[in-house]
Amino acid sequence: MEDTGPNRSARNGGLGLTNTLSSGDRIVSFLIGQFSLVWIDQQQSLNFNLNVIESEWGRGANLDVLASKLAADPSHSIKAVCIVHNETATGVTNNLAAVRKLLDEYGHPALVPVNGVSSICSLDLRMDEWGIDVALTGSQKAPSMPTRMGIVCASPKAMEAAKSAKSVRVFFDWNDYLKLYKMGTYWPYTPSIQLLHGLRTALDLFFEEGFDNVTARHSRLGKATRLAVEAWGLKNCTQEEWWFHLVLTALLWWFHLVLTALIIVKRAWTRYNLIMGLGLKKVAGKVFRIGHLGKLNDVLSLRNKKHFGVEMVLRDVGYPVKLGSGVAAAAAYLQNTIPMIPSRI
């Protein structure tokens, strides 16, 4: 299915919910960082009966609290458990298989809508095996296309729920799409032919590389970046290894109270033409982010540019980084792990 607007959780997330739920429905939602928060903001706007489970930012979803809520809900009043796969703001990847396992243990039928904006097509996400009901991302994320196309996948269970969901919605009603799809007309609105062709090509590239290779590649880039961070004497914002975010590394900036991460990000931009994300809200000023998501054809291209640039920026602001140290750490790891390119051997 195609959605068509700004492809952030704030938007697609809403669609997944309005199509499957009704105003007043009880839902559980994990708050572990800025992008979870944006989603929760809309869940509030959409008038759901919202139970937020918050973790310290830098930690993953608190599944113990979920377990207790499920245990206390024999009547299945919880209609959905909303979870962000990768929390882009803190660099944490949640364990979706564990969420499924919990729901199964309690025989709980809640829907599982997943914000997979930065994970779909870069990390391992098993919609059927993990019982995910709605999964969404955007064309400008792993597919490396222009912005503008949201991609929403729905399970049969979600499609069934759409028949009776009563949320107010006039745009992207799944039922409209299905009706015209069955008529052979396909789209209730003018479709974006260009982006649909682009998506076809993006998928071809994924299949050609193989999804195992895609996730292995992102995993290598994440590991190399974390080694660089360590070499710089900085800390990963993500607090424990099993939450390491494989397509983004968030660095905790503890060095100097006055020199906030904002200064670092600004300098990278004004002097080195280098774009980094900031920590947001609770980790504002304390985190800056290095992304490594997408069709990096050249496994090196984007990454070490940033390592190299980050080292210069850190020196510029007075942090005692040894130039080349992060790059060296990343290189020592990558040198032994990057596979040969089969077609070129």
Contacting its own copies within 46-75 (CB under 8 A):
46-47
Region of 77-85, 99-107, 286-294, 308-316 interacting with its own copies (CB under 8 A) = 308-316
Residue labelled with tokens 């997944």: 16
195 binds its own copies (CB under 8 A): yes
186 binds its own copies (CB under 8 A): no
183 binds its own copies (CB under 8 A): no
Closest among 77, 103, 333 to 227, alpha carbons compared: 333
Q: Which is nearer to its own copies, 193 or 257 (CB)?
A: 193
Helix (H/G/I), strand (E/B), else coil: 310: helix
Sheet arrangement for strand 78-84: 2-3, 150-154, 134-138, 113-115, 78-84, 26-31, 49-54
Among 199, 259, 300, 317, binds its own copies (CB under 8 A): 300
197 binds its own copies (CB under 8 A): no
In this structure, which amino acid lies at residue 343?
S
Whole-number minimum distance, CB 204 to its own copies, in Å?
15
The residues in 159-178 that bind its own copies, with binding defined as CB under 8 A, are: 167-172
281 binds its own copies (CB under 8 A): no
Helix (H/G/I), strand (E/B), else coil: 54: strand
CA distance 326 to 280: 25
The residues in 121-140 that bind its own copies, with binding defined as CB under 8 A, are: 138, 140
Region of 58-66, 122-130, 151-159, 331-339 interacting with its own copies (CB under 8 A) = 331-339
Region of 7-15, 156-164, 215-223, 255-263 interacting with its own copies (CB under 8 A) = 7-15
Can you spell out the DSSP letters for 193-204?
HHHHHHHHHHHH
Q: How buried is residue 58: exposed, middle or buried, by Cβ count under 10 Å (0-12/13-18/19+)?
A: buried
Residue labelled with tokens 């095996």: 129
The residues in 10-39 that bind its own copies, with binding defined as CB under 8 A, are: 10-11, 14, 23
In this structure, which amino acid lies at residue 269?
W
Q: Which is nearer to its own copies, 17 or 103 (CB)?
A: 17
Exposure string for 315-333, b = 16+ CB within 10 A, e = fewer: eeeebebeeebbbebbbeb
148 binds its own copies (CB under 8 A): yes
Q: Which is nearer to its own copies, 75 or 273 (CB)?
A: 273
The answer to whether the annotation marks 289 as part of a ligand binding site is yes
CA angle 237, 239, 242 (to 5 degrees): 120
Q: Which is nearer to its own copies, 70 or 310 (CB)?
A: 310
Residues 143, 121: contact at Cβ < 8 Å? yes
205 binds its own copies (CB under 8 A): no
Q: Indicate the annotated binding residues for substrate.
A: 289
